[in-house]
């Protein structure tokens, strides 16, 4: 694939991209779409540096703030020289991208978003860590490629995808994002810049994939994109009436469908415990898809933070019942655009404001196959007893464990739910974690803000090996976050 034919889609615009990616391939390059310099030309020139969080506070997507501010630059090498933590677009729900108390400045990567090289024959991409998944998808989908693994939002960066080792609806088939990463360029704690891969500096690579940014600052990511037959998704959905049938349905659907997940009414009880909607998808074949690209969607936004009483047990119960009944009893099949299928919540700007001024947390765990289907039932029974009312409760089938030493999924059932922060939120998370420890499951660090260190250690038998590798590369514990202070006893 020649670079002369490779340029940003004419359908993309600043209004739909937020910010256009810049191209700097090793060979002859097309004109830079935003007029910025190439890596070679930029050498020795002052890069644009911006500060964010000027009110002195930063938060994750859950909107629980800490003291801090971002510093941004197009030059990641310069930006990370003295940084203790990097941050992408701030979509991790908890405190993993928030600074420790003694060092409130974080290095934010979104300005460093250039695509450095792409091989159209193999789908191999190399890009700066600040490239957003949305920019990647909108650039490459018209050319027959898409991210091989994608979580529930595309408003994240490549570096963040590696740090969290994100997974998606196809985990039962394709694993985590780290399985598709072929090389990383990093700055480690002593200031050196080096590369690691599954074959080179293997320990560092495995500790970095899913390591939440604590083993080094990711500067560049090389990964394999997936080739897709069209720009549309064939989606099916159907009602499921209890959790046992849900687990059976996920297993059966996973044989035929690459993408599967379900929405659960987590307030249903008795014989209806775990009822919900099972959703399946696959890329449409060329003869099934309409010509051209899906049109970009208009994006409404929640204009202000709603009062805390808006989302409560009664409003959630009414919403969940209506959402379940609005789906017809029969199987529903339709053709949808990828953004609607993969990222339904991205269609609503600032949707996190719905949870009120105290914000929210998302709790996500995986319950292993060895615990049996009874583990999912026990989890949902505990949740309903403790009043864990949530409009968003998602169940997925997880496949093989990832290559990262702290990667989240393993064979079993994953359950994720939004929890508005109230006075009893810590008690609820403690109770859920006790059950997860008993069932030999674990939680997802990219979502967590309330897990206690003792629970995390009990869930994570791999922690000792990961800690040894981290100490080898950072013996002074220089790289840290608010989450590592809370969970790993890092110095504040």
Query: Would the pLDDT of 78 be above 60?
Result: yes
CATH number at residue 369: 3.30.70.2520
Cα angle: 465, vertex 469, 473; to 5 degrees: 165
Question: Nearest CA to 74 among 38, 99, 105?
Answer: 38
CA distance 439 to 466: 22
Query: Would the pLDDT of 49 be above 90?
Result: no
Question: Nearest CA to 211 among 254, 247, 178, 164?
Answer: 164
What pLDDT is attached to residue 328? 83
Helix pair 425-438, 373-385: axis angle to 10 deg: 160
- Cβ pair 356, 311 in contact under 8 A: yes
What pLDDT is attached to residue 24? 37
Pick the last residue of a domain from 166, 198, 227.
227
Mean pLDDT of the region 240-244: 95
Q: Is residue 478 part of a domain?
A: no
Structure tokens at 352: 């996190």
Over residues 193-228, the pLDDT tens digits come to 999 999 999 999 999 999 999 999 999 999 999 999
Q: Is residue 397 part of a domain?
A: yes
For residue 247, with 0-12 CB atoms within 10 Å meaning exposed, 13-18 middle and 19 or more buried, which class applies? buried
Please tell me whether the overall predicted TM-score, pTM, comes out greater than 0.95 for this model.
no
Mean pLDDT of the region 373-393: 93
What pLDDT is attached to residue 291? 87
Query: Would the pLDDT of 90 be above 90?
Result: yes
- Cβ pair 289, 231 in contact under 8 A: yes
Over residues 16-28, the pLDDT tens digits come to 333 334 433 333 3
What is the length of the chain? 492
Over residues 147-166, the pLDDT tens digits come to 999 999 999 999 999 999 99
What pLDDT is attached to residue 50? 55
What pLDDT is attached to residue 31? 31
CATH number at residue 88: 3.30.465.10
- 217 plus 124 within the same structural domain: yes
Question: Nearest CA to 340 among 225, 234, 258, 415?
Answer: 234
Query: Would the pLDDT of 257 be above 80?
Result: yes
Mean pLDDT of the region 54-70: 92
The residue written with tokens 């074949």 in the block is 285
- 139 plus 96 within the same structural domain: yes
Percent of the chain residues past pLDDT 70, beyond the cut? 89
What pLDDT is attached to residue 89? 98
- Whole domain around residue 114: which residue ranges? 20-38+47-227
Q: What is the mean pLDDT of the chain?
A: 90
CA distance 108 to 19: 15
- 94 plus 169 within the same structural domain: yes
DSSP secondary structure string for all residues of 278-335: EEEEEEPPTTTSPSSPPPPPP--B--SPPPTTSSSHHHHHHHHHHHHHHS-SS-EEEE
Query: pLDDT class for 4, splitting at 50, 70, 90?
Result: very low
């Amino acid at each position: 694939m020649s670079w002369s034919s490779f340029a940003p889609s004419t359908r993309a615009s600043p209004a739909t991209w937020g910010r256009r990616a810049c191209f700097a391939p090793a060979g002859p390059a097309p004109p830079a779409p935003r007029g910025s310099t190439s890596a070679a030309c930029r050498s020795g020139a002052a890069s644009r540096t911006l500060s964010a969080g000027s009110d002195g506070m930063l938060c994750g997507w859950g909107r629980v703030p800490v003291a801090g501010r971002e510093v941004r630059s197009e030059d990641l090498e310069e930006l990370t020289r003295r940084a203790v933590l990097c941050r992408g677009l701030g979509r991790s729900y908890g405190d993993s991208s928030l600074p420790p108390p003694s060092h409130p400045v974080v290095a934010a990567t979104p300005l460093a978003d250039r695509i450095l090289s792409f091989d159209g024959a193999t789908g191999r991409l190399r890009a700066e860590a600040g490239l957003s998944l949305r920019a990647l998808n909108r650039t490459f989908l018209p050319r027959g490629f898409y991210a091989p693994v994608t979580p529930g939002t595309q408003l994240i960066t490549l570096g963040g995808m590696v740090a969290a080792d994100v997974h998606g609806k196809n985990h039962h088939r394709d694993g985590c994002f780290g399985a598709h990463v072929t090389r990383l360029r990093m700055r480690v704690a002593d200031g050196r810049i080096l590369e690691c891969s599954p074959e080179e500096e293997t320990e560092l690579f495995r500790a970095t994939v899913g390591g939440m940014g604590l083993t080094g600052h990711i500067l560049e990511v090389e990964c394999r994109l997936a080739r897709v037959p069209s720009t549309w998704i064939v989606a099916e959905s159907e009602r499921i009436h209890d959790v046992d049938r849900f687990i059976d349905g996920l297993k059966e659907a996973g044989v035929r469908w690459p993408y599967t997940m379900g929405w659960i009414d987590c307030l249903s009880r008795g014989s209806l415990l775990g009822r919900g909607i099972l959703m399946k998808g696959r890329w449409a074949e060329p003869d099934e898809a309409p010509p051209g690209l899906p049109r970009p969607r208009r994006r409404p936004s929640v204009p202000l933070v709603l009062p805390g009483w808006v989302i409560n047990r009664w409003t959630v119960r009414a919403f969940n019942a209506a959402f379940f009944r609005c789906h017809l009893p029969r199987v529903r099949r339709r053709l949808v655009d990828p953004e609607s299928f993969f990222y339904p919540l991205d269609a609503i700007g600032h949707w996190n404001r719905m949870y009120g001024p105290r914000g929210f947390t998302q709790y996500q765990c995986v319950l292993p196959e060895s615990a049996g289907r009874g583990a999912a039932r026990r989890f949902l029974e505990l949740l309903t007893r403790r009043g864990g009312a949530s409009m968003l409760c998602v169940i997925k089938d997880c496949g093989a464990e990832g290559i990262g030493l702290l990667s989240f999924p393993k064979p079993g059932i994953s359950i994720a739910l939004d929890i508005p922060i109230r006075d009893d939120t810590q008690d609820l998370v403690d109770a859920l974690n006790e059950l997860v420890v008993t069932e030999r499951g674990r939680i997802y660090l990219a979502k967590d803000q309330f897990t206690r260190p003792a629970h995390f250690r009990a869930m994570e038998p791999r922690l000792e090996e990961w800690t040894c590798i981290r100490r080898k590369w950072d013996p002074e514990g220089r790289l840290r976050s608010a989450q590592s202070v809370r969970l790993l006893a890092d110095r504040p």
